[in-house]
A = this chain, B = another copy of it.
Amino acid sequence: MTAPIYNRVALIGLGLIASSMAHAMREYGLATEIVGFAKSPETRATALEIGFVNRVTETAAAAVQGADLVVLAVPVGAMGAIAAEIGPHLAPGATVTDVGSVKQAVIEAVAPHIPEGVHFIPGHPIAGTEHSGPRSGFATLFRNRWWLLTPVPGSDPEATRHLRQCYEAMGAKVDEMEAPHHDLVLAVTSHTPHLIAYTMVGVADDLRRVTDSEVIQYSAAGFRDFTRIAASDPTMWRDVFLTNKEATLDILGRFTEELFALQRAIRLGDGDHLHAYFTRTRAIRRGIIEAGQDTAAPDFGRGQPPA
């Protein structure tokens, strides 16, 4: 138990990320009071029932009053409207952050509404599961995960230090980078892979009408992993692609180029090309294991009965 870093935290949006932050803040004593707002009355009632907030408010403006930390945890496309609504009600000296998966678009949408004397420090926790909503949160979601901050020109170093301290207390590893660079890196590691997984699952769904339930019944490791990725929140992901358009389209272009080269190798029966390509991709996996982002333990599908 450390001393509280913030006196009153306002969570705007009460889904997977916000509810996990609340659980973690309570567990580690990082906030004296947590106030929550969500558009849906049902979500607010659930948050109160689970008890990860001290109270909920009926408007976002009411939630941020007197808060020294305000977290925008709504889909990226909803950030601008929320910022416009809360802007006039933010307390002097407060810190405003967000947890959106895209950073440039959020900065463009939110920054104009942040008054003088309030610190805006955009952020993105690289953590999540395929579940969403207020019941899906848990205190350890951020353990050993990266939380990227993309401070804007003029961000107060002291406010940034406090936010970093709070996230590190939740178990996260915090790093800072420029927003455009963040968006490119995430387009490679997260956004494009998600789009591809959605596409493959969509193709299978079409074929399911042909092969009945066999596509599901015999779903092997490759496809099973894709369906898990493709089960993520549709609204969140729609907004990611609409707001990180340039980087995603750039990476998608490279992807289709490479895919066509492999497709051609298959058509021509060029086994050497395929073998060399598949050997090269093995190395990046080793890099990820060495970076501590996954383990080398074999994954033979979960849900298997114990030996």
Contact = CB atoms under 8 A, between A and B. Distances in A.
Interface of A: 77, 126-131, 136, 139-141, 143-146, 148, 181, 184-186, 188-208, 211, 213-232, 234-235, 237-239, 241-242, 245, 248-249, 251-252, 254-256, 258-259, 262-263, 266-267, 269, 271, 274-275, 277-288, 291-295, 297-305, 307
A277 B201 CA distance: 10
Contacts of A143: 304-305, 307
Integer count of this chain's copies in the complex: 2
Given A230-B278, A231-B282, A266-B242, A302 B298 contact: no
A189 B215 contact: yes
A201 B214 CA distance: 28
A68 to B, nearest CB: 28
A295 B224 CA distance: 10
Contact of A199 (B186, B255, B291, B293): B255
Given A129-B299, A217-B291, A230-B282, 14 more contacts: A129-B300, A131-B298, A148-B218, A188-B215, A191-B222, A201-B284, A203-B255, A230-B281, A234-B275, A241-B274, A249-B263, A252-B263, A256-B256, A295-B303
7 contacts: A145-B301, A188-B215, A189-B204, A189-B223, A193-B223, A219-B294, A234-B275
Contacts of A208: 284
Contacts of A190: 220-223
Contact of A288 (B148, B195, B216, B235): B216
CB-CB nearest 5 A-B residue pairs:
A193-B222, A129-B298, A234-B278, A295-B303, A231-B285
Contact of A192 (B200, B256, B277): B200
A46 to B, nearest CB: 17
B245 A267 contact: yes
A222 B207 CA distance: 23
A122 to B, nearest CB: 16
A24 to B, nearest CB: 10
Contact of A304 (B140, B197, B281): B140
B230 A293 contact: no
Contacts of A235: 275
Given A126-B218, A220-B186, A221-B229, A141 B256 contact: no
Contacts of A216: 284, 287-288, 291, 293
Contact of A203 (B144, B188, B242, B269): B188
Contacts of A181: 211
